[in-house]
């Protein structure tokens, strides 16, 4: 049996004769399963793929009927037990040589490996064979849903990358005249790709057709100015200048078209972090999730969300959890700072482009369009098992765009905010460390002997720090710099609530500045509510208490408390006698009180 999806859907039987499937819904079902060879496709994904707009009420039963009919067709062709039913979905088993899509990805992978290692002749052969498998636009005759159509768009991008690599391999072998026609054909498909124009101008000049090379540059410039409103980039201008000077230009922009180191090496980007203390249970939950994925109990890319108040150790926990399971992700560990707590968070489009580059794609292989980038990102990850840590997410919208689709990778996201709308398989809502873990962390920073000699003072210090890892790290750095300094002196200084935040500063690290970044994102009403929480009993804050303090109805105060929880500035507790309660860590409460007093003074002055 042979299956073809790199063009119109075709099925060839064992005798070489085509198997005719006329029913369009059954053809769509087969196409969806073939786009995910050997993987369970959920019923919801099948329904969305067959009916793009509004599926009928009988969609579930219809899919079951189509599956039964498809199974009968396969059985008649001598392929029994190829279409499996699974809880919530179906899987079609195909051998790699049976499906053109699988042959294409194998050939491209081997061809790119040959290109990177300098085996240009092998690369030309392998990539040429891969490109030859294409018979047109994938599954263009079928009416597929948006997600499945995005997957076919991603396949087009992979074909484009294979064609670009094929051109580069032929250039490396010294081919010149034979590349003019393929380059012109590719430019016809993507007339705004400056890399292709560079290659065409270089090849034309190299074979003595200089006037045509200059005409090609003029044509490229005209298209870029007319359609994008921009002049050609530095590489194309450099090639043009070399042609005008009569210099050899074949190597002018070649380095920019080679694979970068990131394409050769498996990424290992997890940053170094201090020894993690007090988060064993959280790391164990991530390990258990990866174990479930290994057993096939998770049919999507599992997601871990790490949230909590500023300074609670979200990044350190995410990285430590990633290191604990990195052995299960042979395609590497990727770390990306989304800069959510800064004035300029990273845009989803730029983030995906950087992720694709880390995954080994050349810049010119990364689509210009957002839809193309997202589709390619998900398609690439569907074929790999990598660990991705997205640190410091700004909001749910930023993260939703970066969620992979299928595959066995692992995504870990950290954010100060409670990211509503993100379906996390594991949500680690971090709270301050226990007293014993906080003292252990301080011992790790300054030495066990010092904390054991002055255990009461060490306990007082970590309690004054709110048992937040960031604050403990600051006091640990100060104490480590003075190894003979008694702990009781710092403990005494930290007893004065008004001085605590002034004491928690060292070498550019400031807890106050850490808190400021979260508070600045609040609207005026939430800022006032946050400040007032600092004046209430921080261990038991209720909507009634806050409402009375602000002169608001309890329901309005409860809404403000909910928003503070979502912003990562308040911790929700178990209800007491049926009443929802909230907790503000002591150190954060001192900061809130300080902000409230400052706002009152500003109002009086104004």
Q: How far apart are CA 452 and CA 552, in angstroms?
A: 49
Report yes or no: 538 and 583 within 8 Å, Cβ to Cβ: yes
Say which CATH class 521-605 falls into: mainly alpha
State residue 321's pLDDT score: 96
Say which CATH class 176-259 falls into: mainly alpha
* Closest of 155, 143, 128 to residue 35, by C-alpha: 155
Query: For the chain, what is the radius of gyration of the CA atoms?
Result: 30
Domain boundaries, the chain: 1-159, 176-259, 264-429, 435-512, 521-605
State residue 564's pLDDT score: 94
- pLDDT (tens digit per residue) in 301-323: 899 999 999 999 999 999 999 99
Question: CATH number of the domain at 1-159, please?
Answer: 1.10.10.10
State residue 252's pLDDT score: 39
pTM, two decimal places: 0.61
Architecture field, domain 264-429: 3-Layer(aba) Sandwich (3.40)
Per-residue tokens: 131: 């490109």
State residue 595's pLDDT score: 93
- For residue 432, report the phi and psi dihedrals to the nearest 5 degrees: -55, 155
Q: How far apart are CA 65 and CA 380, in angstroms?
A: 32
Q: How far apart are CA 238 and CA 217, in angstroms?
A: 11
State residue 249's pLDDT score: 59
State residue 538's pLDDT score: 75
Helix, strand, coil percent content, the chain, rounded in steps of 5 = 55, 10, 35
State residue 256's pLDDT score: 36
| Domain 1-159 shares a fold with domain 521-605 | yes
Q: How far apart are CA 586 and CA 466, in angstroms?
A: 5
Q: Mean pLDDT per 10-residue run, the chain (606 residues)?
A: 92 81 92 92 91 86 92 82 86 84 85 77 83 92 89 90 89 86 90 89 88 92 90 88 74 38 64 87 96 80 93 95 93 93 90 84 65 75 85 92 82 92 92 96 95 96 94 95 94 90 90 91 93 88 94 94 92 88 91 92 82
Residues 6+ apart with CB under 8 A from 302: 289, 290, 292, 293, 410, 411, 425, 426
State residue 299's pLDDT score: 67
Q: How far apart are CA 427 and CA 418, in angstroms?
A: 10
State residue 111's pLDDT score: 81
Report yes or no: 419 and 308 within 8 Å, Cβ to Cβ: no
Per-residue tokens: 216: 């090609």
State residue 382's pLDDT score: 66
């Amino acid at each position: 049996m042979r299956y073809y999806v790199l063009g119109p859907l075709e099925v060839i039987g064992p005798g070489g004769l085509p198997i005719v499937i006329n029913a369009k819904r059954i053809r769509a079902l087969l196409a969806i399963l073939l786009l995910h060879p050997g993987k369970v496709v959920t019923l919801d994904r099948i329904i969305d793929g067959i009916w793009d707009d509004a599926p009928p009420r009988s969609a579930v039963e219809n899919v079951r009927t189509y599956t039964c009919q498809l199974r009968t067709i396969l059985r008649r062709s001598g392929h029994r037990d190829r279409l499996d039913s699974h809880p919530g979905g179906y899987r079609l088993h195909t051998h790699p040589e049976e499906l053109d899509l699988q042959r294409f990805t194998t050939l491209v992978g081997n061809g790119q490996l040959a290109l990177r290692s300098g085996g240009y002749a092998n690369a030309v052969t392998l990539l040429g064979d891969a490109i030859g498998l294409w018979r047109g636009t994938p599954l263009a005759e079928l009416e597929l849903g948006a997600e499945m159509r995005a997957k076919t768009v991603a396949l087009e991008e992979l074909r484009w990358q294979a064609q670009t690599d094929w051109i580069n391999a032929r250039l490396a072998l010294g081919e010149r005249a034979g590349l003019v026609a393929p380059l012109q054909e590719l430019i016809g498909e993507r007339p705004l790709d400056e890399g292709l124009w560079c290659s065409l101008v270089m090849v034309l000049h190299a074979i003595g057709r200089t006037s045509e090379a200059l005409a090609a540059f003029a044509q490229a410039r005209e298209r870029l100015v007319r359609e994008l409103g921009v002049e050609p980039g530095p590489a194309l201008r450099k090639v043009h200048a070399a042609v005008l000077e009569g210099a050899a230009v074949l190597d002018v922009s070649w380095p920019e078209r080679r694979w970068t180191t990131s394409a050769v090496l498996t990424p290992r980007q997890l940053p170094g972090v201090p020894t993690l203390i007090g988060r064993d249970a959280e790391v164990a939950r991530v390990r258990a999730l990866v174990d479930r994925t290994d057993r096939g109990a998770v049919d999507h890319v599992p997601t871990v969300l790490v949230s909590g108040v500023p300074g609670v150790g979200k990044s350190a926990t995410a990285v430590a959890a990633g290191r604990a399971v990195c052995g299960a992700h042979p395609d590497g560990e990727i770390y990306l700072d989304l800069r959510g707590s800064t004035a300029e968070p990273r845009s989803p489009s730029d983030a995906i482009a950087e992720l694709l580059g880390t995954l080994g794609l050349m810049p010119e292989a990364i689509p210009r369009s957002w839809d193309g980038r997202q589709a390619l990102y998900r398609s690439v990850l569907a074929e790999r098992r990598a660990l991705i840590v997205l640190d410091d997410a700004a909001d749910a919208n930023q993260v939703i765009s970066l969620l992979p689709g299928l595959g066995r990778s692992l995504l870990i996201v950290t954010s100060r905010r409670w990211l509503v709308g993100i379906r996390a398989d594991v949500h680690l809502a971090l709270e301050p460390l226990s007293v014993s873990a906080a003292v252990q962390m301080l011992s790790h920073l300054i030495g066990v002997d010092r904390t054991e000699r002055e255990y009461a003072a060490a306990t007082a210090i970590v309690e004054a720090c709110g048992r937040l890892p960031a604050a403990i790290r600051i006091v640990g750095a100060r104490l480590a710099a003075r190894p003979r300094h008694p702990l009781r002196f710092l403990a005494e200084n930290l007893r004065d609530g008004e001085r605590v935040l002034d004491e928690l500063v060292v070498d550019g690290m400031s807890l106050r500045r850490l808190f400021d970044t979260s508070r600045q994102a609040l609207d005026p009403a939430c800022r006032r509510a946050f400040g007032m929480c600092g004046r209430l009993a921080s261990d038991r804050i209720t909507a009634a208490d806050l409402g009375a303090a602000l002169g608001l109805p309890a329901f309005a105060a409860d809404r403000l408390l909910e928003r503070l929880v979502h912003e990562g500035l308040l911790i929700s507790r178990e209800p007491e006698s049926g009443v929802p309660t909230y907790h503000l860590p002591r150190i954060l409460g001192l900061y809130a009180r300080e902000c409230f007093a400052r706002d009152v003074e500003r109002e009086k002055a104004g």
